[in-house]
Chains A and B, each alone.
Chain A
Amino acid sequence: MSAIEFRSVDKIYRGRRVIDSLSFMIEGGERIVLFGPSGCGKSTTLLLIAGLVAPDAGEIRIDGKVVSTVRRIQLAPQSRGIGMVFQDLALWPHMSVADNIGFGLRARRIAAAERLRRIGDIANLVGLGDYLQVLPGELSGGEQQRVALARALALEPRFLLMDEPLSNLDAALSRRLRGEILRLHAELGFTLVYVTHGREEAQEIGTRTIELAETGAL
C-alpha cells in the first residue's frame, strides 16, 4: 500500500487545465522531488496532497484511504498528518518565532508546559533556540526558512511538503539548508515531497524524481 497515491487527477483553474490526468505513487519515508518548468502544476500538486484544494477529476489516496475525490475533500487538511513549507514561507508576521512554531500545538490543545518543551526542542533542532521571541520580519532569509521548517515539523508530521523553499536564497545558503533538510529527514523519518525547478537541487534532495510536463502530466 502506497503512502500517497494520485489516480488520474485533473485540476482546472479558470478554464485552464493545470494538471492533466496525473497518476503516481509515493512510498513511506521516500524523498520525492516534483520537478518541471514553471506553471506545470507542481505547487498545485502539493496543495492537492495537503487537501487545500480538491481535484476536478480522479482521486487521491493516503495510506490506501480515499482522502479527496472530484471536488470533494474527504479528509480535512489538518487530519492528514502533513506539514508544509510554502514557497513564500507564509510566516505569520504578527507572531513571534515561538508563537509561529507553537500555533499548531495550541490548536490541538496541547498543555502549555508540553507545548513550551516541544517548541524549545524543535527550535534547537533547526538552530533557532536564541530567536524564540523575535518577530519573523526581524530575521534573515535563511532564519525565516528555518522558522517555516520548524513550524511544519512541530506537529511531527508523517509527510513534509516543501514548495520551492530555497528559491529566494543565495547559492551557498541554499546548499547548506539542503544539507540540513537531509539531516532532518534522516533523523525524523518523514516522507518528503519537495518541489523545485532546479535540476541540481532535485538530484541532491530526491531519492526519486517525478518530472511533470508543461500541462501537469507525467
Chain B
Amino acid sequence: MTERLILILATLVLALIGLLPVAAMLKETLIADGSFSLDAYRALLASDGQFAVLVGHSLQLSFLTAVISTLIGVPLGVLLGKTDLPLRGALTLLFTAPLLVPSYVLAVAWFSILGRTGLLGRVLPDAWSQEISSAFFGLFGCTFVLVTAFMPIAMLLTIAFLRTVNPRLENAGRLVSGWPRILLRITLPLMAPAIVFAAVLTFLLSLGEIGVPMYLRFPVYPVETLTQFAAFYDFRAATVAAAPLLLVTLIILGFQTGLHKRVLELGRRTPNGQVVVVALGPWRLPLFLLVLALAIVVVATPLGALVVQSSSLEIYKVALFRAGDSVLRSLAFAATSATLLAVLGFFLGYLSERRTLPIWWANEWLALLLLALPGSVIGIGLISLWNTKATSFIYASPAILVLGYVAQYAILPMRVVAASLGTIPRSLEQAARLSGAGWFMTLREIVAPLAGRGLIAAWLIGYVFSLRDIAISMVVYPPGSDTLPIRILTLMANGAPSLVAVLCIILIAITLLPLGVAGLWLKVGAKRP
C-alpha cells in the first residue's frame, strides 16, 4: 500500500511540475478577454511569412544536426564500444565532454578560432578569414557547433545498446562472414530502434536550442519565442509562439511512441552485458589516429582555444569579482535540483523498471516530452502557472528555476536509476519482503545500497544538466538571481572575449569538479577490500 501511494505521489509530482505548466500555457493562448478564441493563432499564421521562414530554419538546422550527429556518432560508438581500439575509455570521456557544457560555450570557443579576429584569422589572409567567419555565422556554423555538442548522444547510446545484442547471434554470423558484414547486417539492425531514437532525440534537442543560434545570429523559431517575451515583454505573443514548438514535439513523439517502447524493451534485454570485441588487426593504428584526430578537432581544439584566451590570472580575478555571485548561485541551484532529481528519479525509475503500476508508461512519455520540449516553452509554461498572487513566493524566487530544471531533466536520472535497478534481480527484494521488511526498509537496506552507483550517476547527470541550462533560466530567472550561463550570455554582448572565455572555463571547471570527485570516490571504493 505504501509502495503504491509513494509511486502515485511521485507520478503526481511529475505531472504537477511538468504537465500543469504546459497546460496553463496552452490555456493562456486559447483564452482572450475571458472567452475561448483562436485569434492569437490566426494572427501568428497571418504574419508576413516570417513564421514559415523561422520554422523552416529550425527544421533545417535540426535535421542536419540529427543526421550528421548520427552518421558520426554511431560508427564512433561502435569503435569505442566494440573494438580493441587503444584508449577507448579515455576517448569516450573526451568525446562526452562537449555534452556536459552549454553548447553556446562551444560556439564561443569556436568563434575564438574561426572568427575574423580569432586564432585562425591571425595566420590566414584577411579575405580567407573573412570568408570563414561569415560562413561560421549562419546555418553552417550552427550545425557544426550543435553536431559537436550533440554527437555524444548517438555515440553513448550506441555504446550502451551494443551490450543488448546477444553475442550468440553475432557468433553465429562469424561462422559464415567477416565483422564488417556482421556489424551492418546483424549488430546494427538489432539495435536500430536505439539509433533512430538517438537521431530523434538529437533532432528535438536541436529544435529547442537557443544559445547557439542566438550567438551565431541564425534566426530560428525558439529565439522568436524568447524575443517576444524578453524584448517586447509580450507574454501572450510568447505563449502563442511557443505553441507550435509544443505541437511539433508532440507530433514527433507521437510517431516514435512505439520506438520508445522498443528501446525500453531493448534496454531490459541485456544478455549479461557482454560484448564480443572486434579485433581491428592492421586497421587498429590508422583508426586510432583517425579517432584521435577527430577528438583533437571536435573537443581539444575549442576547449584549448578557451584556455589560450584565459591565460592571465588577472582576468580570473576580474571574472570572479564580476560573476562570483552567479557562480555560487549556479552551484546552489544545480545542487538543489540534482538532489530533487535524484530523489524523484529514484521513485520514477523504480516504477519504470519494476512496473508495479500501469501508469509507468505515462511517466516515461511525459518525462520524454518534457526533455524534448524547448526549454523556453517550459519556462513560459512555468510563468503561466506560477505568476499569480497566491504563488508569487515561487514565481519570484529561485524555486521556479529549480522546478523548471526538475521538470525538463526528470527523464535523465529516471532512466539512469531504471538501468541501474535492471541489474538487481527482483528476487533480492522478494527475499527481503518475505523476511518481513516493509517497502521502505527494502528500499533503504537492499535497493538503495545496491543501486548506489546509479544514484550517484543520477545526481551527477541532474547536476550537469541543471548547471548547463540556459533556455529555462533565461525565461524564468527572478531579478538578481541570474545563473553563470546567463551571466556569460549577457557578457557576450558587451564583455571582453577573454572575460567570457574565463567564465566559460570556470563553468566547465564547476561542471567537472563533482564528476572528478565522484570518479575518485568510486575508484577508492573499488580498491577497498
Residues of A within 8 A of B (CB): 47, 50, 52, 77-78, 82-84, 86-88, 90, 92-94, 103-104, 107-108, 151, 154-155
CB distance from A189 to the nearest CB of B (A): 20
- Residues 444-455 of chain B, each 1 if its beta carbon lies under 8 Å from chain A, else 0: 011001100000
Complex contact A92–B446 (CB within 8 A): yes
- Can you give 12 contacting A-B residue pairs, CB < 8 Å? A47-B430, A77-B430, A86-B430, A88-B427, A90-B431, A92-B431, A92-B446, A94-B450, A103-B435, A103-B445, A104-B434, A104-B437
CB distance from A46 to the nearest CB of B (A): 10
Q: Tell me which residues across on chain A come within 8 A of B446, comparing CB atoms.
A: 92
Task: Tell me whether B282 is interfacial, beta carbon within 8 Å.
Answer: no
Complex contact A94–B449 (CB within 8 A): yes
Return the chain B residue nearest A86 by Cβ.
B427
Return the chain B residue nearest A104 by Cβ.
B435
Q: How large is the interface on B (under 10, 10 to 19, 20 to 34, 35 or more residues)?
A: 10 to 19
Return the chain B residue nearest A109 by Cβ.
B436
Complex contact B430–A52 (CB within 8 A): yes
Q: Tell me which residues across on chain A come within 8 A of B435, comparing CB atoms.
A: 78, 103-104, 107, 151, 154-155
Q: Tell me which residues across on chain B come within 8 A of A88, comparing CB atoms.
A: 425, 427
Q: With A and B bound together, what is the CA distance between A82 and B435 in angstroms?
A: 8
What would 19 more interface pairs be, CB under 8 Å, given A86-B427, A103-B435?
Answer: A50-B430, A52-B430, A52-B433, A52-B434, A77-B434, A78-B434, A78-B435, A82-B434, A87-B427, A88-B425, A88-B427, A90-B425, A90-B430, A103-B437, A104-B435, A107-B435, A107-B438, A151-B431, A154-B435
Task: Tell me whether B441 is interfacial, beta carbon within 8 Å.
Answer: yes
Within 8 A of A (CB), among B428-475: 428, 430-438, 441, 445-446, 449-450
CB distance from B434 to the nearest CB of A (A): 5
Return the chain A residue nearest B432 by Cβ.
A103
Q: Tell me which residues across on chain A come within 8 A of B434, comparing CB atoms.
A: 50, 52, 77-78, 82-84, 104
CB distance from A204 to the nearest CB of B (A): 25
Complex contact A107–B437 (CB within 8 A): yes
Most B Cβ at <10 Å: residue of A93, A107, A155: A107
Return the chain B residue nearest A43 by Cβ.
B427
Q: Tell me which residues across on chain A come within 8 A of B430, comparing CB atoms.
A: 47, 50, 52, 77, 84, 86, 90
CB distance from B247 to the nearest CB of A (A): 35
Complex contact B427–A77 (CB within 8 A): no
Q: Tell me which residues across on chain A come within 8 A of B427, comparing CB atoms.
A: 86-88, 90
- Which among A50, A82, A83, A92 is the interface contact of B428 at CB below 8 angstroms? A92
Q: Tell me which residues across on chain B come within 8 A of A77, comparing CB atoms.
A: 430, 433-434
